Amino acid sequence: MHDKTLAELARSLDAGEFSSRELTQHLLGRIDRLDGELNCFITVTFDQALAAADAADKSRAAGKAGPLTGLPLALKDIFCTRDVRTTAGSRMLDNFISPYDATVVEKLATAGTVSLGKTNMDEFAMGSSNENSHYGPVKNPWDLAAVPGGSSGGSAAAVAAGLVPAAIGTDTGGSIRQPAAFCGITGLKPTYGRVSRYGMIAYASSLDQAGPMARTAEDCALLLSAMAGHDLHDSTCVARGVPDYTEELDTPLAGLKIGLPREYFGDGLAPEVEAAMRDAVKAFESLGASVREVSLPHTHYAIPAYYVIAPAEASSNLSRYDGVRFGHRCDSPSDLIDLYKRSRAEGFGDEVKRRILIGTHTLSEGFFDAYYKKAQQVRRLIRQDFLDAFEEVDVLMGPASPTPAFDLGAKKDPVSMYLQDIYTIAINLAGIPGMSVPAGFVGNRPVGLQILGNHFAEARLLNVAHQFQQATDWHRHRPAFAEENA
């Protein structure tokens, strides 16, 4: 059962091969048996999952099942979930039990999905390796010595290891696409505003976006159809109809115009990763697509602009964690200032503190215009680069990361870690959709092809990815860890 995709599981449930309860019990058993080695989950919701599975089975028996009814998944521990601990991977929220559901959680529950628990993540989504979690690093099931990527590393590793068929992540600068690439699964970051951020613990409010992570583009299409849509609770959520993202999956790619940004194939890209990307592009050409080189001239400004804007927004968003209203509170404070200082010093990890300090500095008097305002101006130029490119081509393609997954502990300094996101960050600055699909291996470690589209072109991206997956089998490979623990 754990080797099936969401779409395959749905067909099996419809055919009566097994019940949602049987499927849920099987996956909960795998989590209980295997997650001690991987550390994908912070919280496993055994009782709630079985209750939801029973409700799904009743709906199916009554003829009221939808496309996702009874299908298990996991939620990144950044989504508020009613009566469930929600930590954002931080000691600061270690004891926080959410009193309400995030809109994404509510929509997926309404669609009949069964949440098995909350997955591990870099603290407050700040990281590219899942080594910044208060609850310890996640291990990559393809190679237990490697990172799974971040910040949605727990979600990606859980899907790759067959603990769940799908999971929900968030992407602020690549945190769905990069771990999807490192773990050999499919991950989609939708257009900014396509999915509600209400109840999603904020890192950088103008960049954060929730998205699906699964084995195939078809599965991501099923999930996005349920997740997307306007939400009055989120003023940044776009009032726009939601299509059935599965309808266009089988559209042929004849006539598709693909752009290869020359800035994505230069210095810093591992030769083996570039070779895998070139081979993937040849597969698209065999499907009838044409390929041309394009330019995104401001790409090299993306990382410095991002690491001004994102920390600035983080310093504002995280100011609410002060030891007074909720979250970690230090013992025996001498006065209010001592309470603030020690609660925040004890509750936040090093990377979060680093970004708060950077953000507070760039927003301070005398530095706002020189840093934050300038970064926003650069952001506008980066966005225009993409808009200009989409005047020439339908989609852009390139690597999701310059290397395959690196070893745990290999990136000691922050700058080398930040450079891992060189191909993903600009997409968040521009607000466009992007996804990563499995496209090969370097040794035993997967690499991902990144596919980018214009605003609200998710259906086209999913179609392109699905056709690639019909012509290749990279997404069907399973890590030895999963095979040995079938």
Residues sharing a CB contact under 8 Å with residue 68, sequence separation 6 or more, in sequence order? 6, 10, 108, 111, 112, 113, 222, 223, 226
Q: How large is the angle between the packed helices 458-471 and 271-286, nearest 10 degrees?
A: 90
In 3D space, the residue among 225, 195, 226 whose CA is nearest the CA of residue 210 turns out to be: 195
Q: Is the pLDDT of residue 295 over 80?
A: yes
In 3D space, the residue among 262, 192, 271, 232 whose CA is nearest the CA of residue 431 turns out to be: 192
Residue 62: per-residue pLDDT: 96
Q: Phi and psi (nearest 5°) for 261?
A: -65, 120
Confidence of residue 484 (pLDDT cuts 50, 70, 90): confident
- Asked if 118 and 86 touch (Cβ cutoff 8 Å), the reply is yes
Q: Is the pLDDT of residue 486 over 90?
A: no
Is 98 designated active site? no
DSSP string, 120-137: --SGGG--SSS-S-TT--
Confidence of residue 80 (pLDDT cuts 50, 70, 90): very high
Confidence of residue 485 (pLDDT cuts 50, 70, 90): confident
> Mean pLDDT throughout 259-269?
95
In 3D space, the residue among 145, 218, 166, 149 whose CA is nearest the CA of residue 480 turns out to be: 145
Asked whether the whole model's pTM tops 0.85, one would answer yes
176-193 pLDDT per residue, tens = 999 999 999 999 999 999
Backbone angle region of 272, left / alpha / beta, with phi > 0 → left and psi within -120 to 50 → alpha: alpha
95-132 pLDDT per residue, tens = 999 999 999 999 999 999 999 999 999 999 999 999 99
Q: Helix, strand, or coil here: 283?
A: helix
Q: Phi and psi (nearest 5°) for 269?
A: -85, 125
90, 115, 151, 196: the catalytic one is 151
Q: Is the pLDDT of residue 303 over 90?
A: yes
Confidence of residue 46 (pLDDT cuts 50, 70, 90): very high
Taking CB atoms within 8 Å and a gap of at least 24, the contacts of 2-5 are 2/26, 2/27, 2/30, 2/162, 2/163, 2/165, 2/482, 2/486, 3/162, 3/478, 3/482, 3/486, 4/165, 5/165, 5/214, 5/215, 5/216, 5/218, 5/219
Name the DSSP class of 421. G
Distance of CA 28 to CAs 17, 46, 48, 137, 402, Å? Answer: 19, 7, 12, 21, 35
Confidence of residue 314 (pLDDT cuts 50, 70, 90): very high
Confidence of residue 453 (pLDDT cuts 50, 70, 90): very high
Cα-Cα end-to-end distance for the chain: 10
Distance CA 277, CA 431 (A): 24
Distance CA 118, CA 138 (A): 13
Distance CA 13, CA 112 (A): 13
Residue 147: per-residue pLDDT: 98
Mean residue pLDDT of the chain comes to 97
How many other C-beta atoms are found inside a 10 Å radius of the C-beta of residue 37?
A: 13
Residue 428: per-residue pLDDT: 98
- Asked if 127 and 411 touch (Cβ cutoff 8 Å), the reply is no
Residues sharing a CB contact under 8 Å with residue 392, sequence separation 6 or more, in sequence order? 257, 259, 292, 294
Distance of CA 111 to CAs 68, 105, 248, 378, Å? Answer: 6, 10, 21, 40
Confidence of residue 470 (pLDDT cuts 50, 70, 90): very high
199-221 pLDDT per residue, tens = 999 999 999 999 999 999 999 99
Q: Which two tokens stand for residue 157?
A: 């590793």
Q: Phi and psi (nearest 5°) for 150?
A: -155, 170
Distance CA 420, CA 149 (A): 10
Residue 27: per-residue pLDDT: 98
76, 107, 118, 189: the catalytic one is 76
Residue 28: per-residue pLDDT: 98
Is 332 designated active site? no
Q: Helix, strand, or coil here: 407?
A: strand
Residue 326: per-residue pLDDT: 85
Residue 413: per-residue pLDDT: 86
Report the DSSP beta bridge partners of residue 167.
74, 213
Using only C-alpha atoms, the chain has a radius of gyration, in whole angstroms, of 21
> Mean pLDDT throughout 324-328?
90
Confidence of residue 342 (pLDDT cuts 50, 70, 90): very high
90, 175, 196, 315: the catalytic one is 175
Residue 483: per-residue pLDDT: 79
> Mean pLDDT throughout 211-234?
98
397-413 pLDDT per residue, tens = 999 999 999 999 999 88
Residue 362: per-residue pLDDT: 94
- Asked if 114 and 68 touch (Cβ cutoff 8 Å), the reply is no
Residue 142: per-residue pLDDT: 98
Q: Helix, strand, or coil here: 114?
A: strand
In 3D space, the residue among 382, 425, 430 whose CA is nearest the CA of residue 400 turns out to be: 425
CATH homologous superfamily, domain 6-258+391-484? Amidase signature (AS) domain (3.90.1300.10)
Is 225 designated active site? no
**Strand 209-214, strand 166-171: pairing:** antiparallel
406-448 pLDDT per residue, tens = 999 999 888 889 888 999 999 999 999 999 999 999 999 999 9
Q: Which two tokens stand for residue 381?
A: 């130029």
Residue 460: per-residue pLDDT: 98
